[in-house]
């Protein structure tokens, strides 16, 4: 088993503390990204209706030759819309779950930082003796 010097232990603890502070500070940005995903998925779903209208206009011009393509498109569109609904539901649930645990995560990280601070204080006291 390798023995570390006080300086190596302090350096390791300082590095871990910096990583934890960075992680704590990025939690709010993660939430914003998740919310942005829901907005983008909602817009994607809204665009599907516009795409359907465009397709139906083209179809009116060439109804005879495009009848099979219409059925294929509507099938894909329906599956895509159902898939988008599922993704939106999942993304909203993910945000709800994330929001429910955000305080606990912040508290846990804060406790870890405090523990590191206490360890650093003990090392400083040992070093001054």
17 part of a folded domain? yes
Q: What is the DSSP string of 22-56?
A: HHHHHHHHHHHHHHHHHHHHHHHHHHHHHHHHHHH
The tally of domains found in the chain comes to 1
1 part of a folded domain? no
CB 37 within 8 A of CB 92: no
Q: How confident is the model at residue 1, as a pLDDT? A: 58
Q: How confident is the model at residue 102, as a pLDDT? A: 93
87 part of a folded domain? yes
CB 113 within 8 A of CB 16: no
CB 88 within 8 A of CB 45: yes
Q: How confident is the model at residue 128, as a pLDDT? A: 78
Q: How confident is the model at residue 107, as a pLDDT? A: 94
15 part of a folded domain? yes
Q: What is the pLDDT along the chain (129 residues), one digit of tens a residue?
A: 578 888 999 999 999 999 999 999 899 899 999 999 999 999 998 898 888 888 888 777 777 776 777 788 788 788 888 888 899 999 999 999 999 999 999 999 999 999 999 999 988 888 876
39 part of a folded domain? yes
122 part of a folded domain? yes
119 part of a folded domain? yes
Residue 49, token pair as written in the block: 């209706």
SS3 call for 64: helix
Instruction: Please tell me whether the overall predicted TM-score, pTM, comes out greater than 0.75 for this model.
Output: no
Q: 41: exposed, middle or buried (C-beta count within 10 Å: 0-12, 13-18, 19+)?
A: buried
Within 13 A of 41's CA, how many CA atoms are on the CB side?
19
Structural domain including 57 reads: 6-128
């Amino acid at each position: 088993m390798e023995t570390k010097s006080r300086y190596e232990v302090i350096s390791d603890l300082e590095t871990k503390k910096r990583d934890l502070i960075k992680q704590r500070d990025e939690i709010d940005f993660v939430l914003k990204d998740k919310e942005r995903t829901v907005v983008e998925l909602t817009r994607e779903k809204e665009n599907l209706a516009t795409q359907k209208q465009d397709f139906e206009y083209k179809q009116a011009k060439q109804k005879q030759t495009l009848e099979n393509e219409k059925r294929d498109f509507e099938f894909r569109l329906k599956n895509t819309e159902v898939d988008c609904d599922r993704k939106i539901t999942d993304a909203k649930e993910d945000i709800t779950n994330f929001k429910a645990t955000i305080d606990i995560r912040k508290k846990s990280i804060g406790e870890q930082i405090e523990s590191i601070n206490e360890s650093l204080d003990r090392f400083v006291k040992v070093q001054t003796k």
